[in-house]
Amino acid sequence: MAKLTVRDLNVRGKRVFVRVDYNVPLEERDGQMVITDDTRIRETLPTLRLLVEQGGRLILASHLGRPKGKREPSMSLRPVAARLADLLGRPVAFVDDCIGPKVEQTAAALKDGDILLLENVRFYPEEEQNDPAFAEKLAALAEVYVNDAFGSAHRAHASTEGVARVIARRGGPCAAGLLMERELKFLGEELENPARPFVVILGGAKVSDKIKVIDRLLEKADTLLIGGAMAYTFRLAQGYQTGKSLVEPDKVDVARAALDKAAARKVQFLLPVDDVVATPVETGQVDKKGRPVIAYQNPRVNTDPNCPPDAAGLDIGPATVKAYSDVIARARTILWNGPMGLFENPQFAAGTNAIAHAVAQATQTRGALSIIGGGDSVKAVNKAGLASQVTFMSTGGGASLEFLEGRELPGVAALSDKPSSGGSGS
């Protein structure tokens, strides 16, 4: 069922609670928290401008980071209010709380077209608990609910689900923002009946993360192209040696079942024919997140389906790049989720970059519809400077995956359905 969107609303003179995703990267410089990438703020501007033009009184809510239900100054949304004001070219008020008398007074004083940003909703543990009383307090601020935070729509939290339920119960409309509308269009409607050939490119570390997506897409796709570390679990299922590659031995049965399903449905299921391997060596150092830093020695192309015992597979090889690019060149619909290797390391980024270029070329030269399904794939396309040359890049990592799996997202389910157009004629 299609959801109500901001285009369907009349918000003049009304207070609108807008859930946005301003979970932006920040770093400290000279004692100030500075935004290092404002993409998520920019992506909400069309929705905000439309609501302002319609005369709405906007109350924006977001989370930032994981403050674990406590006030964490480094995760304040104050710097976001300043950046948003710059981008919109109009004042954005900020309150250093999201519930309470000060918030209520500021919200009540808003005039048509005014914008207020509330403090980080995750400063309260009740947000992630979807606490009904907390949701009631947030909902008391507004008469209309808009969700433009697809990246958080798979979470049943107070600001993503609870508030919508309260406002809907009072008879208020709950609508998708323009960004949310595009996500639902491209990840949902466009993939329902895709133009063929429909090619799905799946990468990333684990088969376990993607198996539900693989299972669902095997019912729709003409070809699946597999890369990343998860390819080695499939190789293990085929009886090959995987050396020191990242594998999930306990998922071999799952991988085998996927291969069998592909064969039964006559879906082309391509695994790498060559790869780039290297010998992992522990350095004794740890990164910022406390994980051991591994160095890779003697990177080389391996054309044997077995991985050398001392080596790990870290990227697809040139023959695989050529084979995959040829398939992509003929596609009419392309869905890409997950890199082809350890692309953060320049030594192992060639495969992912080549696939990004192949997808962009198919889009530009053949008019293929290309959908980049969130997370690392979006990073890879941005890194390659090709963002403007694909059709759509999802803003949701986990949300994109869950949606592609066919799961109902709480933040989407809570929105009002569009009235059906078949009237009774009375």
pLDDT tens-digit profile of 6-28?
Answer: 999 999 999 999 999 999 989 98
Mean pLDDT of the chain: 94
Q: What is the pLDDT of residue 424?
A: 42
Task: Give me the pLDDT at residue 1, please.
Answer: 65
Task: Categorize the per-residue pLDDT at 273 as very low, low, confident or very high, splitting at 50, 70 and 90.
Answer: very high
Res 87 pLDDT > 90:
yes
**N- to C-terminal Cα separation, the chain:** 24
Mean pLDDT of the 97-104 span: 97
The predicted structure's pLDDT at residue 164: 98
Q: What is the pLDDT of residue 391?
A: 96
What is the separation of C-alpha 209 from the centre of its chain, rounded to a whole number of angstroms?
14
Do the Cβ atoms of 61 and 148 come closer than 8 Å?
no
pLDDT tens per residue across span 173-211:
999 999 999 999 998 888 888 999 999 999 988 888 888
d(C-alpha 73, C-alpha 54), whole Å: 34
CB of 356 within 8 A of CB of 380? Answer: yes
Is-contact 170 11, C-beta < 8 A? no
pTM attached to this predicted model: 0.87
CA pair distance 255, 214, nearest whole angstrom: 10
3-class DSSP state of 284: strand
Average pLDDT over residues 384-399: 90
Percent of the chain with pLDDT over 90: 81
- Do residues 179 and 303 make contact, with C-beta atoms less than 8 angstroms apart? no
The pLDDT confidence band at residue 288, using thresholds 50, 70 and 90, is: confident
Name which of 231-245, 280-294, 324-338 the model is least confident about: 280-294
Q: Smallest Cα–Cα separation from 122: which of 72, 82, 177?
A: 72
Question: What is residue 423's predicted lDDT score, i.e. its pLDDT?
Answer: 45
Rounded CA-CA distance 263/233 in Å is: 18
Cα–Cα distances in Å, from 364 out to 190, 202, 287, 370? 18, 21, 39, 10
Predicted local confidence at residue 15, as pLDDT: 98
Lowest mean pLDDT among 26-40, 253-267, 289-303, 409-423: 409-423
| CA distances in angstroms from 203 to 35, 208, 316, 375, listed in the order given | 30, 12, 10, 11
Q: Check whether 67 has a pLDDT greater than 50.
A: yes
Nearest alpha carbon to residue 353 among 376, 330, 329: 376
Strand order in the sheet with 275-286: 292-302, 275-286, 312-316
Mean pLDDT of 235-251: 95
Amino acid at 4: L
226 strand-pairing partners: 202
Whether the Cβ atoms of residue 161 and residue 109 lie closer than 8 Å to each other: no
Q: What is the pLDDT of residue 290?
A: 84
How many angstroms separate the CA atoms of 388 and 382, rounded? 9
Helix H or strand E segment including 169: helix 163-169
Task: Lowest mean pLDDT of 44-48, 61-65, 236-240, 422-426, name the range.
Answer: 422-426
Quick one: pLDDT band at residue 260, thresholds 50, 70, 90? very high
Give the catalytic positions in this structure: 40, 206, 375, 398
- Which stretch of 92-96, 122-126, 290-294 has the lowest confidence by average pLDDT? 290-294
Per-residue pLDDT, 398: 81
Query: Measured between alpha carbons, how far is 364 from 177 in angstroms, rounded to an integer?
Result: 28
Higher pLDDT, 224 or 40: 224
User: For position 403, what pLDDT does the model report?
Assistant: 87
| Residue 374 clears pLDDT 50, i.e. is over it | yes
Note the Cα 351 to chain centre separation in Å: 22
Residue 425's pLDDT band, with cuts at 50, 70 and 90, is very low
Which amino acid is residue 396, in one-letter code? Answer: G
Lowest-confidence segment of 19-23, 160-164, 301-305, 381-385 by average pLDDT: 381-385
Mind listing the pLDDT tens digit for each residue in 30-59? Answer: 889 999 888 889 999 999 999 999 999 999
